[in-house]
Structure 1
Amino acid sequence: MVRLKELDVLRGIAALNVVIFHYTSKFRMNFGHNYPSKFDWEIGRYGVELFFMISGFVIFMSLQGKTSLEDFAYKRFSRLYPTYWICVFITFLIVNLSQDPKMETNSIPVLLMNMSMIQGVFGIKNVDGAYWSLVPELFFYAFMGALFQLRLLRKMRTIAVIWLTLMLSNSLFTLPFGAYLLNLQYGMFFLAGILFYKIKFDGGDWREHILIGVCFLAGVIENPTLICFGVFSAIFCLFYLFVYNKLTLLTWKPFVFLGYISYPLYLLHQNIGFVLMRKIGRYISNEFLVIFIGIISMITIAWLVTRFLEKPILHFLRNYRFHKPRYSGSFQK
């Protein structure tokens, strides 16, 4: 699958926004900040919606060409779970060892349930609050795998109309099980990513543009605030710039780098960052500096995990399945 540098830029932008939101607004809510609340980065919480749109684009792209449901499932598992397990364990260990009275620790059973990634479905708390977004991701993967197996991906326009109708209905009436099983709360962003792929690579026309507009409308109806209207407008505009090759000017190496480490950064930054900021806040009174040190520290840790754990493990798992040696004839020693 072709790697698009612009997608790394978008991942980097999304990751940085989520981190700054957690270290300003979320940290203030949980522990208090001394600097004025006007500096809180509230819009950063919607970096997750950008991640969902990127997933829609990438997952649909991964199901094109010669592949199988088994290969798709294996690639998704190898991409998500090993790194997730590492980050869950690191977070559990650091938070439990920090002995911070304001940080909620977790038991071994909770840790083990978190290894499933779907603990939220059963009402079991996350080792880190950021993990909530992994459930919509997993349900989207399952949904796309089912469409692929049923050979329905070619009917994406029809599916989009049905899916958007259910999303809009859910916003008005709250359909049972809709939020989880059919991704009705966030599906408009995944779907928009798919439609943007079709415009960029698969001969999409005015119908895709209309459906993208309805995705935007569904997102605003689900989140009816002025700030959401503005942020979602920016997210959709960024993707339009991307599909029409106008985002190349923003392929700034720091954003590409943040995209490269975005998954471990997302998984590790929140609770570990809170522990770190509370520790160094005892010695540094300038909270802007505390936030900056927290961001740089977590970027460094995420890079170490990416460079020395995530990528080597992913490389090994992919090579094991797709490039393992094949023998013919008699057994060779």
Structure 2
Amino acid sequence: MVISAFFACASLDSGRPGRFLWRRLARLLPAYMAAVLLTYAVQRWIAPEGWNQLDGRDVVYNLLLINQWLPDVNIVDFAYWTVPVQIAAFIAGAVLVKRMRGRKLRVFLWALVVTPLLLRPLLDHSHALFVFYNGFALHRAQLFAAGIAIWLWHKHRMSTPHFAALLVATLMAQAIHTTEYGSTLGFGLLLLLVCAAAAGPDWVFFAPIATPVTWLAGISYGVYLVHQQIGTVVMDRMHAVGLRSWWLVAGFLTSALVLGWLMTKFVERPAYRLLTQIQSGSSGSSPRRPAPPVLPVSQPRTALADPLTELRLVGPLTVQMR
């Protein structure tokens, strides 16, 4: 979410909000919908008996991106909780980009960090607030604030002391929301690396591995969509035939890379080309950028993060996560 917010700012700063939003949706939604159907099919027909807790209603609500607003609906793959949150953030960014400038934007960033903390004590007293809080994953809002702040600092639009204070507040909020101080420390180190990458020159020492890294970056959204639940089923089926240890890891990684590449090549990129051609108003000609950029900027790699950390996890969703 941090990196996604950073690149969203770069796109919004140099382009039209409507164009930005359409392209983000064109990249995210078709592949997501295909992945929902594929993941459901794998759990329904390949996973062992008793694994699948999903039904047609769950699939429909997942496709409509409203499953997080309905406590009795199972999520098809727990990694997918980030997708509706991303889309909501992109819509908000497109709407607010012309209104949030200068001091207003800096105040808004602090509000993203502080407001969810103030709402936490009220969650046990209001079911409507609890649903709203979870639906928008407000306890992850500080991650978007950090990404925006890094971009502002990188563009010399935020002073270093102010930037440092906001990042410290982000880490404090992350620790409070998750109560996982070790992972918060790791997240802090990651933020420092992102800051170094944003502020410094290109890291030329990565040149020898640039080609494979670029390829992996190009299929990373597809990998994100298919790696978790399907990968777990793959490991289970491999275990059932007697394979153990590193064979399971190899199977998990191979399935993620192969299916992620297929999702990118046959769904994400063709759908993106078609939808951006529609936006350009000429379905018979290529848009200015006919394919998604090599480096994915619309999806964070937080697939294993728990969107309901320290909140309620009950019912079929808990069963599905086991």
Residue of structure 2 in register with 1:10 after alignment: none
- Give the partner amino acid of 1:116: L
Cα RMSD after superposing both structures: 2.5
> Any conservation in 2 of the 1:61–1:197 contact (CA below 8 Å)?
yes
**Superposed counterparts of 1:182-201, under 5 Å:** 183-201=137-155
Residue 242 (structure 1) shift: 1.2
- Give the partner amino acid of 1:142: I
> Any conservation in 1 of the 2:142–2:173 contact (CA below 8 Å)?
yes
- Give the partner amino acid of 2:200: N
- Give the partner amino acid of 1:276: V
Residue of structure 1 in register with 2:317 after alignment: none
Deviates more, 1:195-204 or 1:244-253: 244-253
Residue of structure 2 in register with 1:289 after alignment: 247
Counterpart Cα distance in 1 of 2:38 and 2:146:
34
- Give the partner amino acid of 1:283: V
- For residues 259 and 279 of structure 1, do their structure 2 counterparts lie closer, same or farther at Cα, with a shift above 3 Å needed? same
Residue of structure 1 in register with 2:119 after alignment: 170
Residue of structure 2 in register with 1:47 after alignment: none
Report the TM-score, using the length of structure 2 for normalisation: 0.76
Counterpart Cα distance in 2 of 1:305 and 1:73:
22
Residue of structure 1 in register with 2:190 after alignment: 235
Residue of structure 2 in register with 1:256 after alignment: 214
Counterpart Cα distance in 1 of 2:137 and 2:240:
42
Report the TM-score, using the length of structure 1 for normalisation: 0.74
The counterpart of 2:63, out of the listed 94, 111, 115, is 115
Residue 246 (structure 1) shift: 5.8
- For residues 260 and 153 of structure 1, do their structure 2 counterparts lie closer, same or farther at Cα, with a shift above 3 Å needed? farther
Residue 131 (structure 1) shift: 1.3
Residue 168 (structure 1) shift: 3.1
- For residues 260 and 102 of structure 1, do their structure 2 counterparts lie closer, same or farther at Cα, with a shift above 3 Å needed? farther
Counterpart Cα distance in 2 of 1:202 and 1:89:
44
Q: Which residues of structure 2 form unaligned runs of 5+?
A: 285-322
Counterpart Cα distance in 2 of 1:101 and 1:321:
45
The counterpart of 2:97, out of the listed 148, 166, 179, is 148
- Give the partner amino acid of 1:133: T
Residue of structure 2 in register with 1:60 after alignment: 9
The counterpart of 2:106, out of the listed 143, 146, 157, is 157
> Any conservation in 1 of the 2:53–2:74 contact (CA below 8 Å)?
no
**Superposed counterparts of 1:3-18, under 5 Å:** none
> Any conservation in 1 of the 2:85–2:137 contact (CA below 8 Å)?
yes
The answer to whether the aligner puts 1:212 opposite 2:167 as a matched pair is yes
Residue 180 (structure 1) shift: 4.1
> Any conservation in 1 of the 2:6–2:150 contact (CA below 8 Å)?
yes
**Superposed counterparts of 1:132-143, under 5 Å:** 132-143=81-92
- Give the partner amino acid of 1:138: I
Counterpart Cα distance in 1 of 2:196 and 2:260:
28
Residue of structure 1 in register with 2:52 after alignment: 104
- For residues 296 and 169 of structure 1, do their structure 2 counterparts lie closer, same or farther at Cα, with a shift above 3 Å needed? same
Residue 266 (structure 1) shift: 1.4
The answer to whether the aligner puts 1:179 opposite 2:133 as a matched pair is yes
> Any conservation in 1 of the 2:40–2:59 contact (CA below 8 Å)?
yes
- Give the partner amino acid of 1:65: S
The answer to whether the aligner puts 1:272 opposite 2:260 as a matched pair is no
Residue 228 (structure 1) shift: 2.3
> Any conservation in 2 of the 1:269–1:298 contact (CA below 8 Å)?
yes
The answer to whether the aligner puts 1:94 opposite 2:42 as a matched pair is yes
> Any conservation in 2 of the 1:103–1:275 contact (CA below 8 Å)?
no
- For residues 63 and 104 of structure 1, do their structure 2 counterparts lie closer, same or farther at Cα, with a shift above 3 Å needed? same
Residue of structure 1 in register with 2:277 after alignment: 319
Q: Which residues of structure 1 form unaligned runs of 5+?
A: 1-51, 327-333
- For residues 112 and 229 of structure 1, do their structure 2 counterparts lie closer, same or farther at Cα, with a shift above 3 Å needed? closer
Counterpart Cα distance in 1 of 2:121 and 2:11:
33
Counterpart Cα distance in 1 of 2:31 and 2:101:
29
- For residues 224 and 246 of structure 1, do their structure 2 counterparts lie closer, same or farther at Cα, with a shift above 3 Å needed? farther
> Any conservation in 1 of the 2:68–2:134 contact (CA below 8 Å)?
no
Q: The residue matched to 2:243 in structure 1 has which SS?
A: coil
Counterpart Cα distance in 2 of 1:106 and 1:197:
40
